[in-house]
């Protein structure tokens, strides 16, 4: 007789999907979950870029809501989905109203909605201006690390624009081991520049702190230049200011004239996203009719596919990907849930019977 095979072990039946509880996470809770964890968040951002490059994400173009009666203001929707172990979908809805600053309130405000991977139901709403600033700063710190591995590490940093993003970038650089002999500051608002100088002094920043009166002074005296402005169009146009070949973290994306982009080595976070919405690289593409000025993405640098040359200015232009917000937001959610501090809204989803 032929021996009979034992029956195959059946996998346990998965539980049917259920509607998840809905939680609201405040800015205070977000800050608590992220505080003093710069290295962890930079590692998270690096892993997220790798997932994105491997095709484990969906990151459609951002949508810009603009207003004819308020041309300087906008609200941006960043939908995204991320796979891997994170497995979450969602949307960041972030506004930029520059006139807020004169009223003494922050320019940007944001919420992040996280959606369940299996049911699509939203399961959390998080205050997201802190998350947005955190992922932006972590991305900048990650880029600064990888983009200086084959060149002399900068010892002189200059901040052009001195708002929340500049503060977070400084915190992430220092939180991941950077120190500087000189720190330069420039802002169109003398009050804001003075406030940022005071912040630097309060944090125990080592080395000399200088408030520069002109953009040229700041750029020429810095090996690492951080642009964190609200500029809507280029306002820096002289390539000679960059003759010393600094690393430029072009976080605000629209400060540099195409002529500067074209004489520089250019690294972006995502090619298709960055070459939109009249960013400086997009203007360079429109001027030349090609993308030959792009050297690659940050993931290309991280994996060794691209090694930036050292004989030109090196510009990193990150458009800012929604998948980064999702990764940081999910991290915050998990940390808040682990601590038992989730504020669940009972009966948020109420009429759940199909036929009543």
Just give the CATH number of 139-317: 3.40.50.720
Q: Tokens 């972030």 sit at which residue?
A: 94
Q: Tokens 């940022």 sit at which residue?
A: 196
pTM of the predicted structure, to 2 decimals: 0.92
Share of the chain residues as helix, strand and coil, in percent rounded to the nearest 5: 35, 25, 40
pLDDT for res 14: 63
How remote is the C-alpha of 75 from its chain's centroid? Answer: 16
Angle separating helix axes 164-175 and 190-202, nearest 10 degrees: 30
**Which DSSP letter does residue 323 get?**
H
Give the containing element (helix H, strand E) for 203: none
From 110, 51, 125, 46, select the one nearest 81 (Cα to Cα): 51
Strand partners, 184: 158, 210
Residues 199, 167 contacting (CB under 8 angstroms) = yes
How remote is the C-alpha of 121 from its chain's centroid? Answer: 25
Domain boundaries along the sequence of the chain: 22-131+322-345, 139-317
From 109, 236, 103, 96, select the one nearest 160 (Cα to Cα): 236
From 153, 165, 135, select the one nearest 47 (Cα to Cα): 135
Strand partners, 82: 57, 88
pLDDT averages per 10-residue partition of the chain, 356 residues: 38 72 98 97 98 96 95 95 95 95 92 97 98 98 97 96 96 97 97 96 92 98 97 96 98 98 98 95 98 98 97 96 98 98 94 85
pLDDT for res 17: 85
**Helices H, strands E: what count in the chain?**
11, 16
pLDDT for res 3: 37
pLDDT for res 43: 98
Q: Could you tell me the two tokens for 140?
A: 């900048």
CATH 3.40.640.10 fits 22-131+322-345, yes or no: no
pLDDT for res 16: 79
* Percentage of residues of the chain with pLDDT beyond 70: 96
Residue 132 CB neighbour total at 10 angstroms: 25
Angle separating helix axes 129-147 and 322-338, nearest 10 degrees: 120
**Which DSSP letter does residue 236 get?**
B
From 215, 214, 264, select the one nearest 243 (Cα to Cα): 264
Question: How far is 182 from 209, CA to CA, in rounded Å?
Answer: 6
**Strands 156-160 vs 224-227: parallel, antiparallel or unpaired:** parallel
Question: How far is 259 from 253, CA to CA, in rounded Å?
Answer: 14
Q: Could you tell me the two tokens for 178?
A: 């950077």
């Amino acid at each position: 007789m032929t021996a009979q095979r034992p029956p195959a072990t059946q996998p346990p039946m998965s539980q049917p999907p259920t509607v998840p509880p809905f939680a609201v996470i405040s800015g205070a809770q977000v800050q608590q979950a992220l505080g003093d964890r710069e290295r962890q968040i930079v590692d998270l951002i690096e892993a997220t870029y790798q997932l994105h490059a491997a095709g484990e994400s969906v990151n459609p173009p951002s949508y810009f809501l603009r207003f004819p009666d308020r041309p300087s203001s906008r609200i941006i929707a960043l939908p995204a989905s991320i796979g891997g172990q994170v497995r979450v979908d969602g949307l960041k809805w972030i506004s930029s109203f520059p006139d807020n600053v004169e009223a003494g309130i922050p320019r940007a405000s944001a919420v992040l909605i996280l959606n369940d991977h299996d049911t699509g139901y939203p399961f959390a709403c998080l205050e997201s201006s802190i998350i947005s600033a955190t992922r932006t700063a972590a991305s900048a710190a990650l880029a600064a690390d990888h983009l200086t591995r084959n060149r002399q590490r900068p010892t002189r940093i200059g901040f052009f624009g001195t708002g929340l993003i500049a503060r977070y970038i400084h915190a992430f650089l220092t939180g991941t081991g950077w120190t500087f002999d000189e720190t330069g500051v420039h802002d169109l608002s003398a009050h804001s520049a003075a406030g940022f100088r005071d912040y630097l002094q309060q944090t125990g920043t080592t080395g000399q702190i200088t408030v520069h009166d002109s953009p040229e002074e700041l750029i020429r005296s810095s090996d690492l230049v951080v642009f964190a402005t609200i500029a809507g169009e280029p306002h820096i146009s002289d390539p000679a200011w960059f003759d010393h070949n600094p690393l430029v973290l072009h976080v605000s994306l629209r400060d540099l004239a195409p002529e500067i982009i074209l004489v520089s080595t250019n690294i972006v976070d995502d090619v298709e996203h960055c070459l939109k919405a009249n960013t400086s690289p997009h203007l360079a593409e429109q001027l030349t009719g090609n993308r030959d000025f792009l050297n690659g993405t940050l993931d290309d640098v991280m994996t060794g596919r691209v090694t930036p040359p050292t004989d030109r200015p090196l510009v990193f232009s990150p458009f800012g990907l929604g998948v980064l917000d999702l990764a940081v937001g999910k991290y915050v959610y998990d940390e808040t849930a682990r601590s038992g501090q989730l504020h669940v809204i009972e009966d948020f989803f109420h009429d759940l019977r199909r036929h009543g």
